[in-house]
Amino acid sequence: MDIRQTALDGVLTIIPKKIGDARGYFVETYSARALADAGVSTTFVQDNQSLSRWRGTVRGLHFQRPPAAQAKLVRVIQGAIFDVAVDLRHGSPTYGTWVGETLTAQGGEQLFVPRGFAHGFCTLSEDTVVAYKVDGYYSREHDAGVHWADPDIGIAWPVTSDSAVLSDKDRAMPRLKDLPAIFAYGAAP
């Protein structure tokens, strides 16, 4: 696996190695040892999967508040996405900034999003299937988010506000400036 640090501390791009022959290919999609070598000691407890039927579907920007915060390891099983992480750690030099990576089923790229970040994605093809591991169980009580098109964050989404396919929940998320301090930079995860 090739593991690369992004512009946001702790957010990693992971590119697994595919071994192919006439039959197809084999790929190791997860290695706790490789992630530990990159400084990630996360223990994943749940796998999630979503299907988005339409290109331009936006899911996010989601996170869970402490004590139910989650780290995520995101990959695409079918199709492609523009995957985004936003730093929500108050006091961080990159607070309120974002990184985005294109993840494809064909390339097998993954994004590791640590606790303290919001996560979201936009589908780049129809019938896109996204799978992600999380290190904490879902908690409706701690479920939260920030508006996907918050101009203060300024994400360069590959879809316009008029054409994005959104849930009512995501459409009603608050702006970053309206969120209380939820995560603190340098605090224990």
Using CA atoms, how far residue 136 sits from 30, 38, 143, in Å, is 17, 20, 12
Give pLDDT, residue 189. Answer: 60
- Buried residues in 4-20 as b, exposed as e (16+ CB within 10 A): eebebebbbbbebeeee
Give pLDDT, residue 89. Answer: 97
* Per-residue pLDDT tens listing for the chain (189 residues): 999 999 999 999 999 999 999 999 999 999 999 999 999 999 999 999 999 999 999 999 999 999 999 999 999 999 999 999 999 999 999 999 999 999 999 999 999 999 999 999 999 999 999 999 999 999 999 999 999 999 999 999 999 999 999 999 999 999 999 999 999 998 766
30, 132, 137, 147: the active-site residue: 132
177 phi/psi in degrees, rounded to 5: -65, -15
Q: What is the DSSP string of 12-32?
A: EEEEPPEEEETTEEEE----H
Measured between alpha carbons, how far is 21 from 6 in angstroms, rounded to an integer?
Answer: 32
- Would you kindly state where each structural domain of the chain is located, as residue ranges? 2-180
Measured between alpha carbons, how far is 182 from 64 in angstroms, rounded to an integer?
Answer: 10
30, 62, 90, 137: the active-site residue: 62
Q: Does domain 2-180 have CATH number 1.10.287.70?
A: no
Give pLDDT, residue 79. Answer: 98
Give pLDDT, residue 187. Answer: 76
| 132 tagged catalytic | yes
| 62 tagged catalytic | yes
Q: What is the DSSP string of 63-118?
A: EE-TTS---EEEEEEESEEEEEEEE-EET-TTTT-EEEEEEETTT--EEEE-TTEE
